[in-house]
Amino acid sequence: MSADGTGRSDLDDESRSALQGFGPLIPPLSESMRPLRQQVFDRVRATGLVPRVQVAKDLGVSPATVTTITSELIEAGLIEEVAAPRDSDSGRGRPAVALGVRRGAHLVAGMKMSDREQSAVIVDFAGNLVANEVVPRRPGALSSQDMLDAIEMLLTRVCIKAGVQRAALSGVGIGLPGFIDNAEGVVLWSSTLSERGVALVNMAQDRLHLPVFIDNDANLVAMAELWFGAGRSLADFAVVTFEHGVGMGFVMNHKLYRGARRLGMELGHTKVQLDGALCRCGQRGCLEAYVADYALAREATTALNWGDREGQPISVLLESLYEQAKSGDVTARSIFRRAGRYLAVGLANVVNLFDPSLIILSGERLKFDYLYAAETLAEMDHLAINTGRPRPPIEIHAWGDLLWAHGAAALALSSVTERILSASRDIAAQ
C-alpha cells in the first residue's frame, strides 16, 4: 500500500513506461473454472494498468463483484490503485483510476545453473528487473554440495547488487538442464550434477531458508517467452533451445506442458540415428549428439585434425569453426550443414507432432546462423507432412543466459502468487 494507507499511488513517467503488464495474456472467459480471485489478479497483472470496469467486462462478471475482489487484493497488498494518464489531459475533474500490481509486494530470484555459466536475476512483483549477475565456471559435473555452494554464492552476489537481504525474497526459481521433476523437486539426471536422484528443492530450502522451485531449463525459456516475450498472447507455441545441449519447452492452452510424469518434451533425446553418435545422457543417436555445441566441437576436432587443440574451451573451438566456415572452408561448412540437416529432422518432428502456432529457436548458439540457414528450413518443410497449408512461423531469439534466469523468476512468481492467492481464498472461506 501507499504511505498514506489508501492503496493508491501516483504514476510517474518512468513507471508509466514500465507498467505494460506481464504474464500470459489469456483470453477472457477461456478459464472460467479457475477461482475468480485468480482470474481478476491475472487480468490486472497481464494488462499492466486496467480500470475495474474493464476487468468486469473482460471476465463477464458484475462490477460489484470485481470491486469486492479487488478491495480484498488491495487489502492484501497485492495490487494498488494508480492515477492513470488520460488520453487528453484537460486538467479537470478527478484523475482516472486504474489497477496495477504493487511492485514492492514481493521480490523473487531466478537462477540458471548451467554447465559453463551461471546467471541470476531478481525481479519485483510486477516483473521488473531489479538486478542481475552472471558468473562463469569451469565445465564439469558438480556434487550436490558443490551445487548448493554455487547456488548460495550466486544468490548472495545478486542480492548484494539488488541491495536487499536474502530474507526479503519470497522465493527462488532454479533452472537446470536434464530430467527434472518440478513437482517433487528432484533432479533425476543433469549434466551439471555428478549424482542422480538429487532432492535439490529440499536441500536448497534447508540451505537458503527460502521457498525454492526447480524446473528443466528449456521449460523455463518457454516460460520466459510466455510471461515476458513473444508467447504472451499465444495459446500454444514451442521453444527449441540450443546451448550446451538441445532442449524444448511447449506451451499448451497458455500453460507449460510437462507430460504425465513431468519429464516430457525432451526433443534433444529423441533418436535420429540408430546406434549413432554418443550423447552425454549415455545413449546413442540422440538429436543432441549431432546438434549441440559439444557435438559440433567433437566433429570439428576429428574432421579438421584439431588434436593439438584438446583442452581448449568448447566456446573457443566453436568460434574457430564458425570463422573457418564463414571464410569458405568446405569441411567447416559441411559440419554445420550436417548439424542443420539433423536439426531439420527434429523441427519437422515438432511440426508433425504438435502443429504449434509458432516455433522459437532460442539460445546464444544461434549466432551460428548455419544451423538455421535457408536450406535447413527448406529441408524441414520437405520433411514435415504436406497438408497444403504453410508451416508454423519460426523466430530466432539468440539471447543470452539472462533469458533463462528470467524464466526461473517467472516460475518463482507463478508459484508464489498461487500460494498467496490460495491462502487468501482459504481464509476467506473460513
Percent of the chain exceeding pLDDT 90 equals 63
Please determine, for residue 13, whether its predicted confidence score (pLDDT) is greater than 60. no
Q: Using pLDDT thresholds of 50, 70 and 90, give the confidence band for residue 10.
A: very low
Cα torsion 196, 198, 200, 201 to 10°: value is 120
Over residues 254-281, mean pLDDT: 91
Q: Which carries the bigger pLDDT value, residue 214 or residue 264?
A: 214
Please determine, for residue 246, whether its predicted confidence score (pLDDT) is greater than 50. yes
Task: Given the residues 124, 181, 217, 236, select the one marked as catalytic.
Answer: 217
Q: Are 68 and 97 in contact (CB under 8 A)?
A: no
Over residues 23-36, mean pLDDT: 70
Q: Which residues contact 305 (CB under 8 A, 6 or more apart)?
A: none
**Res 242: pLDDT:** 84
**Res 11: pLDDT:** 41
> Cell digits for 62?
458484475
Please determine, for residue 297, whether its predicted confidence score (pLDDT) is greater than 60. yes
Over residues 170-194, mean pLDDT: 95
Phi then psi dihedrals of residue 361, to 5 deg: -95, 120
> Cell digits for 196?
542422480
**Res 79: pLDDT:** 95
**Count of residues making up the chain:** 430
Over residues 379-403, mean pLDDT: 86
Q: Using pLDDT thresholds of 50, 70 and 90, give the confidence band for residue 424.
A: low
Q: Which carries the bigger pLDDT value, residue 84 or residue 71?
A: 71
Q: Using pLDDT thresholds of 50, 70 and 90, give the confidence band for residue 245.
A: confident
3-state SS class at 176: strand
Lowest mean pLDDT among 8-22, 266-280, 281-295, 360-374: 8-22
Please determine, for residue 6, whether its predicted confidence score (pLDDT) is greater than 60. no
Q: What does the pLDDT look like over 133-172, one tens digit per residue?
A: 999 888 889 999 999 999 999 999 999 999 999 999 999 9
Query: CA-to-CA distance for 250 and 241, rounded, in angstroms?
Result: 11
Q: What does the pLDDT look like over 196-209, one tens digit per residue?
A: 999 999 999 999 99
**Res 360: pLDDT:** 94
Please determine, for residue 127, whether its predicted confidence score (pLDDT) is greater than 50. yes
Estimate the share of the chain in helix, then strand, then coil, as percent rounded to the nearest 5.
45, 20, 35
Which segment, 118-122, 257-261, 316-320, 322-326, is predicted with the most confidence on average? 118-122
**Res 313: pLDDT:** 83
- Render 365-409 in DSSP notation, one character per residue: GGGSGGGG-HHHHHHHHHHS---SSPPPPEEEE---HHHHHHHHH
**Res 91: pLDDT:** 53
Q: Average model confidence (pLDDT) for the chain?
A: 87
Please determine, for residue 42, whether its predicted confidence score (pLDDT) is greater than 70. yes
**Res 428: pLDDT:** 52
Annotation says 236 is catalytic: no
Query: CA-to-CA distance for 158 and 214, rounded, in angstroms?
Result: 18
Kindly calculate the radius of gyration of the chain based on its CA atoms and give it in whole angstroms: 23
Lowest mean pLDDT among 284-288, 357-361, 400-404: 400-404
Q: How far is CA 259 from CA 183, 222, 264, 266, 278, in A?
A: 12, 15, 5, 10, 26
